[in-house]
Amino acid sequence: MAQCHENKSSVPMAHNHKTILLMGLPNVGKSAIFSRYTNMHVTVSNYPGTTVEYVNGFMSIDEIRYVLKDAPGVYNIKQGIDAAEQVAIDMLNEKPDAVLFVLDALNLESSLFLLMQVLEYKIPTVVALNRNDLSQSRGITIDERIIANRLNVDVVPTVALEGKSLDALKTTLKNRLDNPSADFLLQEGDEARWEDVERIVKRAVKRPVDPYDPNEKYAFLIRPFPGLLIAILMLGLAFGLVIGLGMGLRQFILLPLLREGLFPFIEQSVTAFITNESLKNVLIGDYGFLIKGIEWPFALVLPYVISFYAMLSILEDTGYLPRLAVLLDGVFKKIGLPGSSIIPLLLGYGCGIPAIMATRSLPSKKARLSLAVMISLAVPCVSQTGAFIALLSERSLLALVFVFAFSIVTLIITGFVMDKMNKEKAPFTLYELPQLLMPKPRILGKKIAMRIKYYIKDGATPMIIAIFFTAFLYEFGVLQVIGEGLSPVVSGWLRLPEEASTPLLLGVIRRELAVLPLFDMTLTTLQFITAAIVALLYVPCIAMIATLAKEFNGRVAVGVFVFTTVTAIGIGGLIARIGEWFLILFA
Amino acid sequence: MQTPNTHTYHPTPPIALNTLFSMERGDEGIITSIPDVGLLASLGVRIGKTVKMVAKSLAKGPCILHINDRSIVIDREIAKQIIIRK
């Protein structure tokens, strides 16, 4: 066929293409190989469970196209206990034309055991012995020929992150696809296989008497002392850098660029060419979409998107996050959650959607639901954080600190309440710590760029559309009518001006839009705090409600919607009143 | 027959002494028995393996072991069921 339909995000299952299934343990570089071969950017991180659902892509070998499928990493495909394993088993049962198995040089025993389980399916298989550089840096050498002979498979040593030997791997793959054979040498039974694995490893691996071991060297990071102290310092430093870097980008680069360069130009052009007052207001008025539609997404939010994801990506790629999970495991157990919950929580400070998807790697349903509710209610996404900083930092730094402290306290209380509602204990903690790695700048840059692109596509674009419609509704008086209707809640209960109903309406669409319209209002500090807390606890955003419906069910989505709205309004009113008492007491 | 004096009588030390969990940081031991938890074998926790205790967390946190160049985080409830000899 001369033409192939290309689809950016997922490739339709074309039956005229042969399929290759990518398999291996968690965190061995399957996604790195996938990205290299398909030129599709999938998230690569230094911790297990980054790939939670499988991705398809096209790869070409000598002008021939194949479908490459990236399976989630598993340790075992016999038990089928978790979702990832079931996905992997299903993918093998679909009978791909070949399996590209990624063997972990740092973890040869378990890799080989899984390989044997995969070979049982009698599918032509090529093996990449990956992360060869890491084992060599420890002084360990592996003779891949011994593995190849003992199992009768093709083995190619690779370093996927650097793209080393990936061409040789392609050639081997091509040969195997052209001459499919699957006569593997396998033992029967788990016992016999583990013995076989140990014999192979003993012959294939040459190791120094005392190999260099970075995990041992940095073990202090996971001991309560000084580990916890370092964790607090690290997170504090990361938080400070995110805020500082973001503010700097905004203050010194993006705002001047817009306010002194682009906006005067836009205003002059609009005034020169458009005489209709209404249209002019829609374009450059209070909600003027050419002004706010550019300033909000790109000058107020984008700087924090950049600084946050730069920091998070570094933390991810070093392998520090699973170590943080170890340190916090005991604390999280108190609310029935595993320590690894810290990863979706941190992701939630970027965007709630990937955070809720990341809860898939947690081993219990209860933990997933608890975390989803905690994130929906109390974790501001990076857009909203940017909006909070823009709104409060110049008015009252204390108010800003209060809002963030309030978010953390609410997070903890929500955790306890969710635990009370479902007493199921946290599942056993049992996982492998990835090796600490120096992040590679090229990969880091790609990852940050990918996340900024995701923000522009799925964050900034809906924000601009929402601002466009708001400008219309505002100009034609619809917002004002709604404001009067909501007045008992907004003015009566929350003690805010009527116009503050606009952010409440917009906040349903996007989290930061519950904050940004407050900008040009004249409010007291207490009113700013009230409005900020309402915005924090309020409905996360439409896209997140849709994600909840997809990942759980409609009931959870509606439940979160109602619960967050009621909590936000309820607590907001209380803060308005308690705040007033304080002012009377201390003023 | 004389009953043992309750003040000085010490029963055989509880099995807890020989579990993985009873190991101090830096201790090494050889695994002699593991509970039936599927993932253990794949993580390298198998009978006959030498393990080293690298860290023990606070509160009800896990232990971190060293087995075959790998660092395994293991729940203390599971660690209490793994028997080792020094």
H/E stretch holding A317 reads helix A302-318
What the block records as the tokens of A488 is 């008992």
Q: Do A433 and B74 touch (CB under 8 A)?
A: no
Q: What does the pLDDT read at residue A81?
A: 65
Query: Taking 70 as the threshold, does the pLDDT of residue B5 lie above it?
Result: no
3-state secondary structure A502-539: HHHHHHCCCCHHHCHHHHHCCCCHHHHHHHHHHHHHCC
- B25: CATH: 2.30.30.90
Low-confidence ranges of chain A (pLDDT < 70): 1-15, 43-44, 49-54, 79-81, 587
Q: What does the pLDDT read at residue A5?
A: 38
Q: What does the pLDDT read at residue A202?
A: 93
CA distance A542 to A547: 9
Say if B6 falls within a structural domain.
no
| A136 interface with B at CB cutoff 8 Å | no
Q: Where in chain A is the domain with CATH 3.40.50.300?
A: 18-216
| Percentage with pLDDT > 90 across chain A | 66
Q: What does the pLDDT read at residue A55?
A: 79
| A425 interface with B at CB cutoff 8 Å | no
User: Are A515 and A500 in contact, with CB atoms under 8 Å apart?
Assistant: no
pTM of the model: 0.87
Say if B60 falls within a structural domain.
yes
Total domains in chain B come to 1
Q: Which of A109, A330, A432 sits opposite B71 (nearest CB)?
A: A432
Q: What does the pLDDT read at residue B4?
A: 44
Question: Residue for token digits 């060293």?
Answer: B66
How does A208-224 read in b/e, with b if 16+ C-beta sit within 10 Å? eeeeebbbeebbebbbe
Taking the CA of residue A500 and the nearest CA in chain B, the distance in Å comes to 46
Q: What does the pLDDT read at residue A426?
A: 83
Say if B48 falls within a structural domain.
yes
Superfamily name with CATH number, domain A18-216: P-loop containing nucleotide triphosphate hydrolases (3.40.50.300)
Q: What does the pLDDT read at residue B17?
A: 57
Chain A CA closest to residue B77: A428
Taking the CA of residue A223 and the nearest CA in chain B, the distance in Å comes to 5
Say if B50 falls within a structural domain.
yes
Amino acid at A47: Y
Query: What is the DSSP-derived secondary structure letter of residue A299?
Result: I
Radius of gyration of chain A (CA): 27
CA distance A269 to A280: 11
Mutation target vs A (from B27, B71, B78; most A CBs, 10 A cutoff): B71
Whole domain around residue B36: which residue ranges? 15-85
